[in-house]
């Protein structure tokens, strides 16, 4: 089984105020790579993105320390029962074979339960959330203006706050069998995901009916996933791709996933630029984001017997 080479987009030219021909040409190349990646793969790497690699390395180190604590210590920051999201430490419930743990941070700070040890972890999570919010907005702006040619700020104004964004700190313990699935196949139920991972590998994408391992990132690379909501907005022009995590044999795996979401009360449906304006029929019926998220969360709490029975965006297909 061959690894897949992920398209890489250099964002340095979008963070520069320069407007010379060389910069303009570099931006055009980056836009072409990003647009094709969203259409053909549903994911790509970004480099020179403005997020400190030193900070990312420290965050991964601190998360590893936390997840290696005894269970009784980690359970001190389990989610509050009344919280709308499981903000805090939990074990993922995706199958009887599941071997994944996570620490969720959500901006509804009244429900967050932060670990007190290691002491720096709380501050690191908050800073990472802030940096990833800015990076997500930049990528969404490039997709909006340059890749899709939508009216300026259409996506930014639609995704008008970060109150439904999430940061997950994930841990997959070492296993003896490389086929132990740490996270079952799924698509991300958001607009975009930003993924920072160590060099353990284990992330796989379903391409042409085959699970293909993703080459672990080089230093400075952040993986970007297209989510279900962006797929619906573009009426399937952009793809949300099935992926899973196979726990690496003989070592643990640590990662961070930032989920860039719309507000729960927003109505989701294909945009007119991809339906009525080009005389195409919509492929999805209208729904609210909180309705879809509720279905997905319920499915996680009461897992389906087979991946095929899980709730996906196909539930809203016309």
Q: What is the pLDDT of residues 259-310, one digit of tens each?
A: 999 988 999 999 999 999 999 999 999 999 999 988 887 776 666 656 566 7
Taking residue 25's Cβ as centre, other Cβ atoms within 10 Å add up to 11
Compute the average pLDDT of residues 80-101.
70
Give the burial class of 241: count Cβ atoms within 10 A of its Cβ; 0-12 exposed, 13-18 middle, 19 or more buried: middle
- Distance set, CA 128 to CA 17, 41, 223, 261 (Å): 24, 26, 15, 16
**To the nearest 10°, the Cα dihedral for 183, 188, 193, 197?**
10
Average pLDDT over residues 40-64: 93
> pLDDT tens across 178-236, in order?
555 567 788 999 999 999 988 888 888 888 888 888 877 888 899 999 999 999 999 99
Nearest to residue 45, comparing CAs of 35, 55, 34, 36? 34
Which helix or strand (DSSP H or E) is residue 30 part of?
helix 21-40
Give strand pairing partners of 103.
89, 169
Tell me the CATH architecture of domain 8-316. Sandwich (2.60)
| pLDDT range class, residue 51, cuts 50, 70, 90 | very high
Say what the pTM is. Answer: 0.91
Q: Who contacts 176 (Cβ-Cβ below 8 Å, separation ≥6)?
A: 249, 250
Per-residue model confidence (pLDDT) at position 189: 92
| Predicted local confidence at residue 29, as pLDDT | 96
pLDDT at position 97 is 45
Tell me: pLDDT of 313 over 50: yes
Residues 242 and 307: their CA atoms lie apart, in Å, by 11
Tokens 């319920």 sit at which residue?
298
Helix, strand, or coil here: 240? coil
Higher pLDDT, 314 or 217: 314
Where do we find the tokens 């070592």? 251
Instruction: Report the pLDDT averaged over residues 74-89.
Output: 84
% residues pLDDT > 70 (the chain): 89
- Residue-level length of the chain: 318
CA distances from 219 to 17, 62, 142, 205, 284 (A): 25, 18, 23, 21, 39
Integer CA distances (angstroms), 150 to 146, 234, 299, in order: 8, 11, 34
Residues 120-130: tens digit of each pLDDT:
998 998 899 99
Residues forming beta bridges with residue 205, ordered by sequence position: 212, 243
Q: For all residues of the chain together, what is the average pLDDT?
A: 86
Q: Residue 177 pLDDT more than 60?
A: no
Tell me what the mean pLDDT of segment 163-177 comes to. 82
Angstrom distances, CA of residue 180 to CA of 96, 97, 157, 247: 11, 7, 42, 6
- The model's pLDDT over 6-29, given as tens digits with 9 standing for 90+, comes to 899 999 999 987 778 888 899 999
How many whole angstroms separate alpha carbon 6 and alpha carbon 3?
Answer: 9
CA geometry: angle at 83 spanning 80 and 84, to 5°? Answer: 150
Confidence of residue 2 (pLDDT cuts 50, 70, 90): low
Q: Could you give the CA distance from residue 32 to residue 44 in angstroms, rounded to a whole number? A: 12
pLDDT per residue over 230-272, tens digit each? 999 999 999 998 998 887 777 888 899 999 999 889 999 999 9
* pLDDT of 95 higher than 50: no
Q: How confident is the model at residue 156 (pLDDT cuts 50, 70, 90)?
A: confident
Domain ranges of the chain: 8-316
Instruction: Tell me the mean pLDDT in the region 103-117.
Output: 79
Helix (H) or strand (E) holding 31: helix 21-40
Q: Is the pLDDT of residue 94 over 60?
A: no
155 Rama sector, left if φ>0, alpha if ψ -120 to 50, beta otherwise: alpha
């Amino acid at each position: 089984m061959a690894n897949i080479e992920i398209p890489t987009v250099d964002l340095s030219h979008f963070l520069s105020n320069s407007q010379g021909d060389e910069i303009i040409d570099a931006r055009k190349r980056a836009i072409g790579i990003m647009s094709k990646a969203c259409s053909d793969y549903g994911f790509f790497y970004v480099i020179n993105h403005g997020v400190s690699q030193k900070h990312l390395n420290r965050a991964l180190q601190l998360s590893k320390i936390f997840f290696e604590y005894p269970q009784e210590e980690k359970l001190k920051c389990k989610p509050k029962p009344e919280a709308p999201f499981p903000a805090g430490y939990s074990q993922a419930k995706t199958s009887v074979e599941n071997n994944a743990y996570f620490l969720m941070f959500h901006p509804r700070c009244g429900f967050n339960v932060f670990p007190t040890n290691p002491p720096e972890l709380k501050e690191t999570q908050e800073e990472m959330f802030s940096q990833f919010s800015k990076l997500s907005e930049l990528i969404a702006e490039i997709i909006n203006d340059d890749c899709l040619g939508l009216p300026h700020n259409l996506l930014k104004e639609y995704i008008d706050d970060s109150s439904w964004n999430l940061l997950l700190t994930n841990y997959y313990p070492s296993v003896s069998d490389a086929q132990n699935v740490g996270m079952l196949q799924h698509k991300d139920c958001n607009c975009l995901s930003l993924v920072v991972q160590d060099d353990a590998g284990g992330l796989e994408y379903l391409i042409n009916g085959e699970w293909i391992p993703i080459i672990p990132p080089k230093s400075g690379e952040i993986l970007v996933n297209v989510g279900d909501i962006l797929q619906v907005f573009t009426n399937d022009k952009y793809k949300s791709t099935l992926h899973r995590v196979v726990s690496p044999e003989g070592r643990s795996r640590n990662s961070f996933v930032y989920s860039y979401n719309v507000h729960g009360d927003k109505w989701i449906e294909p945009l007119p630029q991809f339906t009525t304006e080009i005389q195409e029929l919509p492929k999805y019926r209208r729904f609210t984001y909180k309705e879809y998220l509720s279905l997905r969360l319920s499915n996680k709490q009461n897992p389906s017997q087979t991946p095929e029975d899980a709730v996906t965006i196909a539930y809203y297909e016309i």
